[in-house]
Structure 1
């Protein structure tokens, strides 16, 4: 047992009643990791022998069958069936490559369901992944043959050298040719081979790992999602973002119309009616000063309402003095103790400043209204062509990521090709971060 103040305490661990240095555990972990990766690479290279034969046989058979049936009505179904099997074999190859790469390769296929057989055939045939799968099933035969045979030879030779005393004693051969005769018939010879085999174990492990990684990376080059899928996904994402931006614009216009109708317009109509009543009183000689004062107050309220509406659309301070000053004005009106970090003189593009302002405004409102926070830190930073806005409060957390307010912010940020992330575990803190390219 070590005393609490012992300087050896931080560098020792007690496991199963024994005190062992942490450095020894680090070396043991590295050796165990090397054994795991080497074993995985060896399994991958050996299984590639079988995978290569199966892949080549299936590629030749399916190509021949589809080619012969292509002139008949069975050509389309045969192509779809052969492609289905090819994709299952390619998925198995992606999983096998994950033994060496650490994670299975993602599937690159695009959905092609529905429609007629001709339409499905066209949808499958235009995908580059269909033909890259077939190319890999053909290429895995020579690659697997070379890598598997090399792995077998290197492993067997090294293992045979390590156990040389055992097999030299079990299978003596006094007539072995030179230089094997002294290694086989003398006492130091087999033990010398054992020492050599042990010394070559790291080299053998390095060779197996290198060969396995090389073949797995070749598999990733053909079987991983390519540019075609990335472009299709990007186009789909942009289409979704465009629809959400259009919806957000329509909702914003409806909000402005509602605020005008229920707020400033109603107050102006009321002021007009009050002035009409005052004019009628003046024609009859009655006192109308109180009505004029009431109309003036109603017009003042309408002007205040219009100014609030303008600030909700785009606050003038944002254009005149920049994002930092606009956030400082928000902080002054917020019930929270807000700390602002960033360069007050830094200016950003107008669209970025507007999106960042509304992210901060919504974040401060949510922190004070729902999270019961007392303090909030707002950080404005510019790095590598991106403006990052981060709000961190000390509230109770548990923010609803699918709520209408946060969803509206997400649409506003995505309209600029940005990204909004929310971390709000129960008990807090809540971290709202928006990355806006500029």
Structure 2
């Protein structure tokens, strides 16, 4: 408690010095900007004034740590435009510039009132508490003054000291309350605004989500490589071993016919497992997507599709792995649904990047429509697109063609 009180007094007294410098800075800066605003030196003068304001406000944010649990965070962006005029416009448009100026303007009168009140209350209480030790030094003619009437006799001096001791916690509380109120007011003006905090939080979540998506895509590629190079290779080797054993048994004659039959069945099971594993690998992350990109993977996908696919793919460069995977599986799932349910004869696929940095994917068929937008397959696709900040729309009137459209920001 004593330490908090001492820090509070220190905070208020330092505020007097800071308030004096702040008042001079604000007045000089405002005067200089007002005089030079009509000249070509207006922007440099504004930058100089706001730089001084920011530095003093920065000191105020750190000074608040004497009372608050931590310094007040800075609300300013890290990067500024290269030109003087651009920096001046950015600072003029930033709300924190004017909140800092407002705080520095009121700092001196506010601190003056708080510091004088705190020092007077604390000094009077401490003087009364120690009055038995110094009351004897009062001149006799002064002991009758209203302020010293309680010190005329030793009994009154003891009573005054006892009352001061009782009131000392209240005086210390008042000092702490004045400092805390000033520090909270400083935090209210100097900390980042709600809009800026929300913007910074959104940027942070976007960065962390992007890293999580990239990590997930990398993990899927690792699983695909492990299955392709590990389990799949071992199953192929097992099939070759079984084939070799079957040929050797056939050389033994009719006595080994049953064993050959069992080996043939085992080879069939191995081939089935290998096909299923290859299908699983392609479902996790098609190797061709990593090797040839979205354009090459889609070309191979269209070549294997039973329906004729008219493709218009315009991709000037490779996209992020997560973006390529989302677009690939969207189109693959759409083609699968068209084959199973649409009764279509042709499919049109369009993939391009917009000038605003958005990947647009459109899949249209000439089928009978009536697709359920809340089906499990389409719901999974929608969630995958929305996880990348994209939008997914399905237009499928009964009896008419179905159009599936997705837009995904490329800046993941």
Tell me the TM-score normalised to structure 1 length. Answer: 0.53
Query: In the aligned structure 2, how far is the partner of 1:83 from the partner of 1:186?
Result: 60
1:161 aligns with 2:128: yes
Query: In the aligned structure 2, how far is the partner of 1:102 from the partner of 1:234?
Result: 21
TM-superposed deviation, 1:171 = 2.2
Structure-2 change in CA distance of 1:71 and 1:180 (3 Å): closer
Correspondence for 1:340: none
Which of 291, 302, 305 does residue 277 from structure 2 map onto? 305
Query: In the aligned structure 2, how far is the partner of 1:139 from the partner of 1:180?
Result: 34
TM-superposed deviation, 1:302 = 0.9
Query: In the aligned structure 1, how far is the partner of 2:52 from the partner of 2:118?
Result: 29
Correspondence for 1:296: 268
- The answer to whether the Cα contact below 8 Å between 2:33 and 2:46 also exists between their aligned partners in 1 is yes
TM-superposed deviation, 1:151 = 1.0
Correspondence for 1:191: 158
Say how many residue pairs are matched: 274
Query: In the aligned structure 2, how far is the partner of 1:291 from the partner of 1:181?
Result: 116
Structure-2 change in CA distance of 1:180 and 1:249 (3 Å): closer
Deviations 1:244-298 (A, max 9, x none): 3553565467557757866769979x98xx99xx9xxxxxxxx996995475143
Which of 196, 218, 222 does residue 229 from structure 1 map onto? 196
Correspondence for 2:91: 124
Structure-2 change in CA distance of 1:289 and 1:145 (3 Å): same
Structure-2 change in CA distance of 1:235 and 1:299 (3 Å): same
Unaligned runs of 5+ in 2: 247-256, 286-383, 390-412
TM-superposed deviation, 1:308 = 6.3
1:79 aligns with 2:79: no
Larger Rg computed on CA atoms: 2
Correspondence for 2:37: 70
Deviations 1:22-48 (A, max 9, x none): xxxxxxxxxxxx110011111112222
Query: In the aligned structure 1, how far is the partner of 2:80 from the partner of 2:155?
Result: 70
Unaligned runs of 5+ in 1: 1-33, 279-286, 314-411, 418-438
Query: In the aligned structure 2, how far is the partner of 1:243 from the partner of 1:136?
Result: 38
TM-superposed deviation, 1:305 = 2.2
Correspondence for 1:109: 76
Structure-2 change in CA distance of 1:289 and 1:102 (3 Å): closer
Correspondence for 2:119: 152
- The answer to whether the Cα contact below 8 Å between 1:174 and 1:185 also exists between their aligned partners in 2 is no
TM-superposed deviation, 1:182 = 4.3
The secondary structure found in structure 1 opposite 2:67 is: helix
The secondary structure found in structure 2 opposite 1:144 is: helix
TM-superposed deviation, 1:215 = 0.8
- The answer to whether the Cα contact below 8 Å between 1:51 and 1:144 also exists between their aligned partners in 2 is no
TM-superposed deviation, 1:124 = 2.4
Query: In the aligned structure 2, how far is the partner of 1:173 from the partner of 1:153?
Result: 25
Structure-2 change in CA distance of 1:416 and 1:173 (3 Å): farther
Deviations 1:23-76 (A, max 9, x none): xxxxxxxxxxx1100111111122222222222221111112122222222222
Correspondence for 1:211: 178
Query: In the aligned structure 1, how far is the partner of 2:147 from the partner of 2:95?
Result: 54
- The answer to whether the Cα contact below 8 Å between 2:43 and 2:85 also exists between their aligned partners in 1 is yes
TM-superposed deviation, 1:128 = 1.8
Correspondence for 2:320: none
- The answer to whether the Cα contact below 8 Å between 1:45 and 1:148 also exists between their aligned partners in 2 is yes
Structure-2 change in CA distance of 1:50 and 1:300 (3 Å): same
Correspondence for 1:247: 214
Tell me the TM-score normalised to structure 2 length. Answer: 0.56
Deviations 1:284-329 (A, max 9, x none): xxx996995475143133145258659979xxxxxxxxxxxxxxxx
Query: In the aligned structure 2, how far is the partner of 1:42 from the partner of 1:175?
Result: 31
Deviations 1:356-393 (A, max 9, x none): xxxxxxxxxxxxxxxxxxxxxxxxxxxxxxxxxxxxxx
Structure-2 change in CA distance of 1:244 and 1:99 (3 Å): closer
Query: In the aligned structure 2, how far is the partner of 1:260 from the partner of 1:206?
Result: 69
TM-superposed deviation, 1:237 = 2.1
Deviations 1:149-204 (A, max 9, x none): 10121022112212223442212243555655642432322232222222221111
- The answer to whether the Cα contact below 8 Å between 1:112 and 1:120 also exists between their aligned partners in 2 is no
Query: In the aligned structure 2, how far is the partner of 1:233 from the partner of 1:175?
Result: 64
Deviations 1:110-167 (A, max 9, x none): 1134521122222323322221111110121221111011012102211221222344
Correspondence for 2:253: none
